[in-house]
């Protein structure tokens, strides 16, 4: 049955054009924020002006009586708590407020100005409470607890240690670290690092249009995770999940921002209360103040190495600011073991990752979450190790990068020799490095090569393929097109290759939780992998059915049939054949329409038992590696860093659509460049985010960027369908690391913080700034752990 | 009060106040949602429309000041779905990702290439200073624009 | 509820604009390019009650260039000014300031008058450029015209009576050279964190009557008089000029901002002086 069960992967490889480009170029695409309907109401949300306080009074009666106001909802309307790992997050602040911008009430009115007037008319008194704004505040002796009732929350995932402002703690311990550090030949290198938050600045803000029809909610929303929105909305509203339907129009940028429920329940509640369609679109300022940013983090890392360059032992403490609620950071504590614990072969290691509550806006997921700063810390630390033992940093990496059979931090055994040949590939791409340190124009030149370890976030996905009698196929999934093109190219390519039709003839159904089965969401590099595997399985079932019907029609053995270019033929030259439409049509008449379903989930790659505690993923199903090389020029007078060249060797397994991948790499590197050099989120002493829009939050512009030189590395082992790996998330992974290492090399001083804005770099050169002092990370690693009761 | 606007060659009436930003009139009153109010402060360029042939920030233009002028939105730049050379090139180069910035990008590039048939890559980079893109990293947009250079001379797209 | 929408009157002539402003009194305000006023909501400032738009008044859009002087209407846009002054090497500072600020779409909307009237906008490019050119401004009212130096204007602009209008900026031309150096945090597209505008006569390789203005470092741009004195008659020597700038840097108190700390704005001034001098002498 080889023809029936296997697909020639090369049939799926092509630079397929995106089907959504034309409408996007002509302004016809209707994103959620563009959707309007007759009789639609406009919603707005009242937000807390204080970071911490007790709600003494919230009176909506005067606001409700205003002209044009149709509904007002508050905490009384939304009883449930949601969260990842711990259910700690109410929809509206209840009794207390925990961050500036926390929702207190939502209104729906005829016109936006009526809604704004209603917000202004809600009477509210909040008694200020002491706030913990920084992680140092939160971990101080006797600190105010962000959640005094933390012990009462429902635990949704067992295993993480928690206490007070430590929302979650995950540890990965392998081998005898004390013995490694005690070795007489060990050189000890220790560093501290700190990074700020990064705002996704997705162009489409979070936006939702909600309807309440036939006793069910229909939510159209700009999300990456329709099923999470369905289930979480149901939970906070206290209704069965089956009463919530989520559909997703084209999404105007996600990058992880939309990997969680957002403002959907407000609109849903208001739609139910008013009996009207309700639209809610965040203002840019709301997006800035309540963005689920990439979290700020503080890191201490310490390694024991021999003079010959062997890494004997490593320990690290990573503090991740989750803001007022645990959210994604609870999950992301997992990733330290695989990112900071990745890249290199290490004798023994112990890593602790702690999500810390503060009275600031909650953080969330952002492209290569956790990985970007842990890779920054690890790679800068690696350069300092190389310097300490007098070894060339590239030679040190060649010696130590993970290879076939090496152990990761949780005891996972890596397969295949991948990073070392990728380093060689980079040597070819880059050529022999220049030794120059000062350029003709007086600027300081620096260069660096870094490595990175990432993964594909597998997990459940479902797909259905309906074979239509006209020879086209319809692919039904809960996958969302967020801009990467995976739903427009990769998935139809897989289905088309399986069915022997053109990708243009695969209709891709827009995500609808009423039509397609469960899906974890679009993100984590999983779209083409998980949805792709489900789609491959579904299409494979259709293919088998088609071939069996065709075999009957052609009086041939199904195994002797070929299926390609829209036809099923008996193998061999001039064999008789039929068009796929003929076969599908015949099948429909004889047996009913042909369809296939497919499912996929994580494989659960094993870790070493007893290594990992509090981890949501003990080992990586599909590791992904990256090697980056960066050249910079630094202005010694002003601290401006110019990127001169950037090169990427990326492990893609198999490149299904090379052109699309190259587009993702260019975009991801530039987003990482913003993180490394420009994008700064400052939290004021009151807990307010100071950057409120595009003027102050500076992302890279066309004059700032360079074309990235790319080499796609194919052939590394992958569990993904047709041997693919996710390619859209990883390009950002080691940009912060590469830029920081290159800048450090240029200025001859170590770099321990990001972003490297001109004032920051100038301060480093002037000696006004040194490594961050982190007294809230204890010197003895074990003193950082929550004590077992 | 009623505003009398000429949008994509058609006279249109809007019962709105004259200080209402043009972008809101286009989107809410006339359902021309191609222009996007992304930053509302003139930095992102996603709301650009042509007014009398000049790329104009519709978020910072009061509707009252657009009366009597020729307003052309992205929807009117490619009537009947025909792409202009810039749009064609952007499609051919697979430049589009989420797409939100492209209505504004098309305005800026169309204007830049009408002004200068043979711009350098650096000139185009600087022409795009007011057009932020969060997805693509710009280089493909520049590739596409350079390939379309010369095709926009001589009037309408 | 009362309708709070502001009104907008499009004045056909300067006279009509002045009458309209007079009638509206304290509730009225002039509306030029709109790039500042239209952003009031995002600054959490209420819009005014009644605006008088100046954009249709032909005489306010004009840039008149003669060999002796330049007169710029208050509603000339940055783009118009940059184009009109491109051939005038003595006014390179102003052409550069107008041609590099913000981004192309803003430059084609934002006006010189708006730039000068936005008293809260510390990073205005045109202000230091006009200071180093010793420009004068013309204020019109129904009962006459008042002229004042740009420095005086910067002191008085917040207290301008509501029926008076900044109408024109005048620059006397001279055998001088000028340069504008600005330091945005990106290559372009954001407001500069520090600006140095420089104008001087060059005689036998020496700087004569140098005028140096510094913008964005403090809330309002001003001349760097001690440095001007120190460089008077000095040979063009970039290293020496940078050295002198370092010596007199304490003349300024850098403003703290979200984008840059005060010390940084001051610390880059010597380099900006060096660059200005470099471009002046090239």
Q: Mind telling me how many Å the CA of B126 is from chain C's nearest CA?
A: 8
Cβ-Cβ contacts under 8 Å for B100 (sequence gap 6 or more): A31, A203, A204, A252, A253, B36, B38, B46
What's residue A661's pLDDT? 97
What's residue A321's pLDDT? 98
For residue A694, the chain B residues in CB contact (below 8 A) are 38-39, 41, 43-44, 132
For residue B126, the chain A residues in CB contact (below 8 A) are 702-703
Q: Say if the Cβ atoms of A663 and B131 lie within 8 Å.
A: no
Buried b (16+ CB within 10 A) or exposed e, A156-181: eeeebbbebbbbbbbbbbbbebeebb
**pLDDT over 50 at A1, yes or no:** no
A110 and A59 share one domain: yes
CA dist., res. A436 & res. B18, Å (int): 60
Q: Say if the Cβ atoms of B19 and C39 lie within 8 Å.
A: no
- Report if residue A741 sits inside a domain: yes
Q: Structurally, how many domains does chain A consist of?
A: 3
Q: Say if the Cβ atoms of B127 and C104 lie within 8 Å.
A: yes
What's residue A4's pLDDT? 46
A591 and A686 share one domain: no
Domain with A540, as residue range(s), is 2-29+459-600
A251 and A111 share one domain: yes
**pLDDT over 50 at B156, yes or no:** no
Q: What is the mean pLDDT of chain C?
A: 95
Q: What is the mean pLDDT of chain A?
A: 96
Q: Say if the Cβ atoms of C264 and A691 lie within 8 Å.
A: no
- Report if residue A441 sits inside a domain: yes
Q: What is the pLDDT of residues A589-625, one digit of tens each?
A: 999 999 999 999 988 888 999 999 999 999 999 999 9
What's residue A524's pLDDT? 86
Q: What is the pLDDT of residues B119-138, one digit of tens each?
A: 999 999 999 999 999 999 99
A756 and A630 share one domain: yes
Q: What is the pLDDT of residues A317-327, one digit of tens each?
A: 999 999 999 99
Is the domain spanning C177-281 CATH 3.40.50.620? The answer is no
**pLDDT over 80 at A106, yes or no:** yes
How much is the ipTM here?
0.97
A485 close to B (CB below 8 A) = yes
In a mutational test of the C interface, the residue from A758, A763, A769 whose CB has the highest number of chain C CBs within 10 Å is A758
**pLDDT over 90 at B63, yes or no:** yes
A684 close to C (CB below 8 A) = no
What's residue B152's pLDDT? 79
A377 and A512 share one domain: no
Q: Say if the Cβ atoms of A701 and C187 lie within 8 Å.
A: yes
For residue B39, the chain A residues in CB contact (below 8 A) are 284, 693-694
A441 and A521 share one domain: no
Per-residue confidence band for B157, with pLDDT thresholds at 50, 70 and 90: very low
Nearest to A746 by CA among A663, A642, A646, A620: A642
Closest residue on chain C to A284 (Cα): C42
CATH number of C7-53: 3.30.43.10
What's residue B29's pLDDT? 94
Start and end residues for every CATH 3.30.465.10 domain found in chain C: 60-172
A49 and A8 share one domain: no
Phi, psi (deg, nearest 5) at residue A426: -65, -40
A422 and A330 share one domain: yes
Chosen domain end from A579, A600, A621: A600
A375 and A440 share one domain: yes
CA dist., res. C1 & res. A708, Å (int): 57
Q: What is the pLDDT of residues B90-123, one digit of tens each?
A: 999 999 999 999 999 999 999 999 999 999 999 9
Q: Spell out the domains of chain B, with CATH numbers in brackets.
A: 3-77 (3.10.20.30), 81-148 (1.10.150.120)
In a mutational test of the A interface, the residue from B79, B98, B101, B144 whose CB has the highest number of chain A CBs within 10 Å is B98
- Report if residue A162 sits inside a domain: no
Cβ-Cβ contacts under 8 Å for A141 (sequence gap 6 or more): none
Domain of A647, CATH number, reads 3.30.365.10
- H/E segment holding residue B49: strand B48-51
A470 and A427 share one domain: no
A503 close to B (CB below 8 A) = no
Pick from B19, B61, B126: CB nearest C51: B19
Pick from A15, A34, A484: CB nearest B33: A34
The Cβ-side half-sphere exposure at C11, using a 13 Å CA radius, reads 28
C84 and C71 Cβ atoms separated by less than 8 Å:
no
What's residue C2's pLDDT? 45
- Report if residue A701 sits inside a domain: yes
| A343-371: average pLDDT | 98
Pick from C187, C188, C258: CB nearest A682: C258
- Report if residue A515 sits inside a domain: yes
| A17-27: average pLDDT | 96
Q: What topology does CATH give the domain C60-172?
A: 3.30.465
| A419-445: average pLDDT | 92
Pairing mode of beta strands C136-141, A89-90: unpaired
Which residues of chain C are modeled with pLDDT < 70? 1-4
CA dist., res. A664 & res. A118, Å (int): 43
| A767-780: average pLDDT | 96
A450 and A552 share one domain: no
CA dist., res. A757 & res. A158, Å (int): 41
What's residue C4's pLDDT? 66
| A688-709: average pLDDT | 97
What's residue B151's pLDDT? 81
For residue A666, the chain B residues in CB contact (below 8 A) are 136-140
What's residue B154's pLDDT? 52
Q: Using CB atoms and an 8 Å cut-off, which of residues 57-96 of chain B contact chain C?
A: 57, 59-62, 64-65
**pLDDT over 60 at A516, yes or no:** yes
Closest residue on chain A to B142 (Cα): A702
The size of chain A, in residues, is 789
For residue B59, the chain C residues in CB contact (below 8 A) are 38
Buried b (16+ CB within 10 A) or exposed e, A273-306: bbebbbbbbbbbbbbbbbbbbbbbbbbbbbbbbe
Interface contacts (A, B; CB < 8 Å): 160
Chosen domain end from A546, A572, A600: A600
In a mutational test of the C interface, the residue from B25, B60, B112 whose CB has the highest number of chain C CBs within 10 Å is B60
Subunits with 3+ Cβ pairs within 8 Å of C are: A, B
- Report if residue A183 sits inside a domain: no
- Report if residue A150 sits inside a domain: no
What's residue A572's pLDDT? 85
A431 and A483 share one domain: no
Q: Using CB atoms and an 8 Å cut-off, which of residues 27-46 of chain B contact chain C?
A: 40-43, 45
A317 and A777 Cβ atoms separated by less than 8 Å:
yes
Percentage above 90 pLDDT, chain A: 95
CA distances for A499 relative to A295, A488, A490, A583, angstroms: 44, 17, 14, 12
The size of chain B, in residues, is 157
- Report if residue A179 sits inside a domain: no
């Amino acid at each position: 049955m080889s023809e029936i069960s296997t697909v020639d992967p090369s049939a799926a490889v092509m630079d397929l054009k995106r089907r959504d480009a034309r409408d996007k170029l002509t302004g016809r695409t209707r994103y959620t924020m563009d959707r309007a309907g007759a009789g639609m109401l406009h919603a707005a949300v009242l937000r807390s002006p204080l970071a911490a306080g007790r709600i003494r009074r919230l009176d909506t009666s005067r606001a409700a009586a205003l002209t044009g106001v149709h509904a007002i909802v508050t905490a009384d309307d939304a009883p449930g708590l949601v969260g990842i790992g711990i259910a700690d997050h109410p929809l509206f602040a209840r009794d207390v407020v925990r961050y500036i911008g926390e929702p207190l009430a939502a209104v729906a009115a005829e016109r936006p100005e009526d809604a704004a007037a209603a917000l202004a008319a809600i009477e509210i008194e909040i008694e200020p409470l002491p706030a913990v704004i920084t992680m140092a505040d939160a971990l101080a002796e006797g600190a105010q607890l962000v959640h005094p009732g933390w012990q009462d929350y429902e635990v949704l995932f067992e295993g993480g240690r928690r206490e007070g402002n430590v929302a979650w703690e995950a540890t990965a311990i392998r081998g005898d670290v004390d013995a490694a550090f005690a070795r007489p030949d060990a050189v000890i290198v220790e560093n501290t690092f700190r990074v700020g938050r990064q705002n996704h600045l997705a162009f489409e803000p979070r936006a939702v249009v909600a309807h309440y029809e036939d006793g069910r909610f229909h939510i159209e929303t700009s999300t990456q995770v329709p099923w999470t929105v369905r289930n979480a909305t149901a939970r906070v509203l206290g209704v069965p999940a089956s009463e919530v339907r989520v559909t997703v129009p084209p999404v105007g940028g996600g990058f992880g921002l939309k990997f969680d429920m957002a403002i959907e329940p407000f609109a849903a509640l208001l739609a139910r209360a008013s009996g009207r369609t309700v639209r809610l679109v965040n203002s840019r300022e709301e997006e800035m103040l309540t963005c689920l940013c990439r979290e700020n983090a503080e890191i201490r890392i310490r390694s024991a190495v021999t003079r010959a360059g062997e890494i004997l032992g490593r320990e690290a403490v990573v503090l991740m600011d989750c803001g007022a609620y645990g959210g994604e950071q609870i999950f992301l504590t997992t990733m330290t073991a695989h990112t900071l614990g990745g890249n290199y072969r290490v004798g023994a290691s112990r890593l602790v990752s702690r999500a810390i509550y503060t009275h600031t806006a909650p953080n969330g997921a952002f492209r290569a979450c956790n990985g970007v700063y842990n890779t920054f810390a690890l790679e800068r630390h690696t350069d300092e190790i190389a310097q300490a033992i007098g070894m060339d940093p590239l030679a040190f990496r060649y010696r130590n990068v993970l290879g076939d059979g090496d152990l990761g931090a949780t005891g996972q055994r890596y397969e295949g020799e991948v990073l070392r040949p990728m380093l060689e590939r980079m040597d070819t791409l880059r050529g022999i490095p220049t030794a120059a340190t000062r350029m003709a124009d007086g600027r300081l030149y620096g260069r660096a090569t870094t490595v990175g370890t990432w993964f594909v976030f597998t997990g459940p996905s479902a797909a259905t393929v309906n074979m239509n009698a006209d020879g086209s196929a319809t692919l039904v999934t809960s996958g969302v097109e967020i801009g990467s093109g995976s739903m427009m190219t990769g998935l139809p390519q897989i289905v088309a290759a399986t069915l022997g039709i053109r990708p243009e003839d695969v209709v891709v159904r827009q995500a609808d939780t009423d039509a397609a089965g469960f899906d974890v969401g679009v993100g984590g590099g999983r779209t083409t992998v998980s949805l792709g595997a489900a789609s491959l399985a579904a299409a494979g079932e259709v293919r088998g059915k088609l071939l069996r019907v065709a075999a009957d029609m052609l009086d041939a053995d199904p195994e002797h049939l070929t299926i390609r270019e829209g036809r099923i033929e008996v193998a061999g030259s001039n064999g008789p054949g039929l068009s796929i439409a003929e076969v599908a049509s015949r099948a429909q008449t004889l047996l009913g329409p042909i369809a296939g379903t497919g499912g996929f989930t994580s494989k659960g790659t094993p870790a070493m038992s007893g290594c990992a505690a509090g981890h949501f993923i003990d080992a990586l199903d599909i590791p992904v590696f990256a090697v980056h090389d960066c050249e910079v020029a630094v202005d010694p007078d002003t601290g401006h860093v110019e990127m001169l060249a950037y090169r990427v060797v990326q492990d893609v397994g198999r490149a299904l659509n090379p052109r699309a991948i190259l587009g993702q790499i260019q975009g991801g590197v530039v987003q990482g460049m913003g993180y490394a050099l420009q994008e700064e989120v400052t939290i004021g002493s009151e807990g307010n985010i100071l950057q409120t829009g595009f003027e102050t939050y500076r992302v890279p512009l066309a004059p700032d960027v360079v074309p990235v030189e790319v080499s796609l590395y194919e052939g590394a082992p992958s569990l993904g369908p047709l041997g693919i790996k996710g390619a859209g998330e990883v390009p950002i992974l080691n940009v912060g690391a590469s830029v920081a290492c290159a800048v450090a090399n240029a200025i001859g001083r170590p770099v321990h913080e990001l972003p490297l804005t001109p004032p920051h770099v100038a301060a480093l050169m002037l000696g006004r700034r040194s490594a961050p002092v982190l007294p809230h990370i204890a010197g003895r690693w074990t003193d950082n752990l929550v004590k077992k009761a | 009060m009623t505003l009398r606007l000429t949008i994509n060659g058609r006279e249109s009436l809007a019962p709105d106040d004259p200080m209402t930003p043009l972008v809101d009139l286009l989107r809410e009153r006339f359902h021309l949602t191609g222009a996007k109010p992304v930053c509302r402060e003139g930095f992102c360029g996603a709301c650009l429309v042509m007014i009398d042939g000049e790329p104009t920030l519709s978020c910072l233009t009061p509707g009252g000041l657009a009366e009597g002028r020729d307003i052309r939105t992205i929807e009117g730049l490619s009537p009947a779905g025909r792409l202009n050379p810039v749009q064609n090139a952007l499609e051919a180069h697979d430049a589009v990702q989420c797409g939100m910035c492209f209505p504004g990008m098309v305005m800026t590039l169309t204007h830049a290439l009408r002004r200068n048939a043979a711009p350098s890559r650096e000139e185009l980079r600087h022409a795009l200073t007011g057009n932020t893109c969060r997805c693509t990293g710009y280089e493909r947009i520049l590739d596409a624009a350079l390939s379309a250079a010369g095709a926009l001379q001589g009037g309408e797209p | 509820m009362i309708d709070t929408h502001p009104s907008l009157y499009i004045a056909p002539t300067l006279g009509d604009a002045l009458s309209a402003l007079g009638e509206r009194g304290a509730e009225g305000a002039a509306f030029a390019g709109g790039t500042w006023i239209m952003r009031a909501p995002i600054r959490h400032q209420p819009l005014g009650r009644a605006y008088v738009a100046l954009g249709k008044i032909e005489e306010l859009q004009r840039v008149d260039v003669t060999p002796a002087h330049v007169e710029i209407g208050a509603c000339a846009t940055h783009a118009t000014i940059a184009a009109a002054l491109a051939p005038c090497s003595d006014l390179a500072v102003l052409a550069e300031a107008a041609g590099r600020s913000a981004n192309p779409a803003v430059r084609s909307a934002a006006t010189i008058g708006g730039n000068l009237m936005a008293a809260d906008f510390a990073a205005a490019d045109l202000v230091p450029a006009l200071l180093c050119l010793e420009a004068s401004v013309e204020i019109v009212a129904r009962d006459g015209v008042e002229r004042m130096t740009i420095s005086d204007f910067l002191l008085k602009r917040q207290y301008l009576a509501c029926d008076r209008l900044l109408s024109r900026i005048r620059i006397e031309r001279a055998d001088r050279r000028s340069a504008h150096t600005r330091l945005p945090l990106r290559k372009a597209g954001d407001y500069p964190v520090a600006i140095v505008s420089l104008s001087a006569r060059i005689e036998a390789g020496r700087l004569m009557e140098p005028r140096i203005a510094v913008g964005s470092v403090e809330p309002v741009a001003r001349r760097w008089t001690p440095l001007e004195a120190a460089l008077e008659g000095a040979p063009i020597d970039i290293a020496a000029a940078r050295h002198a700038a370092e010596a007199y840097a304490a003349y300024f108190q850098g403003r703290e901002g979200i984008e840059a700390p005060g010390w940084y704005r001051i610390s880059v001034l010597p380099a900006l002086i060096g660059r200005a001098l470099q471009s002046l002498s090239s």
